[in-house]
Copies of this chain bind each other. A is one copy, B any other.
Amino acid sequence: MALFWDCLMALLAAFGLVCIAWPPILWEKIEYYHRAKHKRNEGKTMELNEALNKLDALQKKSYAYGAGLSALYLDGDTVAPSDTEEGRSLAVSVLAGEWHERFTSPETGELLDFLAAHKEELDQVRRRQVEELKRDYDKDRRIPAEEYMEFQRLTSEANAVWKRAKAGNDFALFLPYLEKIVAFNRKFAGYYDPDKAPYDALLDEYERGTSMAFYDPFFAALRERIVPLIRAVGEKEQPDDSFLRRRYPVEAQRKFSDYLMEVMGLDRRHVGIGETEHPFTDSFNNKDVRITTHYYENDVASSMYSVIHEGGHAKYDLGVADELQYTRLAGGVSMGLHESQSRFYENLIGRSLPFIRAIFPRMREFFPEQLADVTPEMFWRAVNKAQPSLIRTEADELTYPLHVMVRYEIEKRLIDGTLEAKDVPETWNRLYKEYLGVDVPDDTHGCLQDSHWAGGSLGYFPTYALGSAYGAQMLKNMEHDIDVWGPVGRGDLSQVTAWLKEKVHRFGGLLEPADVVKNACGTFDPTIYTDYLTRKYSELYHL
């Protein structure tokens, strides 16, 4: 363990530099941290120091199991041969079970209780680690190891089956997995918080502090403003976006992705890009993040905005302070905040006219023939074309929240038992007609389009709409603090990133999600989001 300890000391030494830039809001806490740090080897008992060593070792183990599992998942989703799920599922399930067993052992409980009892002697970072780990511990203790392993195994298999089901428009193939996943989620919700309605427990799990009581009026507010806006837009002439569907060779798109990552300041020595059916971001640590995309030869915007979106997730994880690495506090603090970052880069920056103007000359070099007769303004209008459609990940910024609403409604009812998994396609199609006015032709373009349920996640989707709302508030504050559009118009995102890093990224899990939101957004207010949408689409469509 000597090596680990040296390594941690080096990380802590680096902290001295990092915190100079921390904002006044946290200064007091940081000062406290420094005092505590200097006290570490003086005032503390042998016993406490030993417990802190154990705390570090525990967190490094958590990181290591997580990294092993991530590597297995990443491999399975990117380069693994098609018929290799069985062995991978077994490995994933056993490894997850091993970690679960270790983490939920009485020794962990004793360690965390001991440290909690000494919390006044701990610095801010350690105290928060102990609080979060204790919370995880209490929750995980309530989940029987066998169920946990079975769920890991189930979702690993379900993911593979979902791929085949989606490819073959075969919902029946996926149905038994969905049924089991719903049943597990319902059961797990009881373990998370037996006093809450099951879906509330799940919502809180993905975004601490949220519930149906929070989301219902949020979505109602969005619907109230967005549905009329969509109607108004629908009465206007649509821009021509046919050039987006010219033939854009995949090889050129790959090079374009490299360029986009460069513009975003994603250091390729630390960020990899792969290709998967459904794009995602997988972060090992703040020096090793992978994003994926999917290339469609006849749709240049699809991968372009996947790369920017996943790149936004990557920026968050890369921006977390070094001293939080390999601890419970590494990575983003919540799904909603993570999604705020991905959608910030994708929509607020990536689909803005200044950004498109900035990158267009280089973009034309990758696609000279395809874009010969296209202006930046035409491209901007095309990638912001607002029109009810079928696929969430390719939906425009305006109709997007309604895609999320469909999923929210279905999850709510699946979990409270008023909807059976077998009836998901019918309900899906009906809600798409009701909210978006579109007819779903098949399940491939309907309820099989997303990987989230196959991955075991129910309660995740709503955070997507929340993230967009956070993002609009961050932009407003950012515009108040710095010149956003001057540099972006020159293709320079460094100041945008620096602002987000200072307000959001570097904290990792050190603060509560609500505190990060307050720090970056001020008081949460969805009308800032709907105002933003109204302004943007009024300009685009001359409303």
| Interface residues of A, Cβ cutoff 8 Å to B | 1-4, 7, 60-61, 63-65, 67-69, 71-72, 74-75, 78-84, 86-88, 90-95, 98, 102, 146, 149-150, 153, 268-272, 274, 284-285, 287-288, 290, 325-326
Contact = CB atoms under 8 A, between A and B. Distances in A.
A284 B84 contact: yes
21 contacts: A3-B149, A63-B90, A63-B91, A63-B94, A64-B91, A64-B93, A65-B98, A67-B72, A67-B87, A67-B91, A67-B95, A71-B72, A71-B74, A71-B91, A79-B272, A81-B270, A81-B271, A82-B269, A86-B287, A87-B284, A87-B287
A88 B94 CA distance: 20
A429 to B, nearest CB: 33
A275 to B, nearest CB: 11
A12 to B, nearest CB: 15
B95 A269 contact: no
Given A63-B87, A71-B71, A78-B79, 8 more contacts: A4-B90, A63-B90, A64-B92, A64-B94, A64-B95, A68-B95, A79-B79, A82-B269
B95 A65 contact: yes
B150 A3 contact: yes
A91 B68 contact: yes
B83 A287 contact: yes
A88 B67 contact: yes
A246 to B, nearest CB: 24
Contacts of A268: 81-82
A93 B68 CA distance: 11
Contact of A75 (B4, B75, B82, B270): B75
A35 B153 CA distance: 33
Given A94-B60, A287-B87, A274 B67 contact: no
A404 B183 CA distance: 59
A307 to B, nearest CB: 15
B285 A87 contact: yes
Nearest to A94: B64
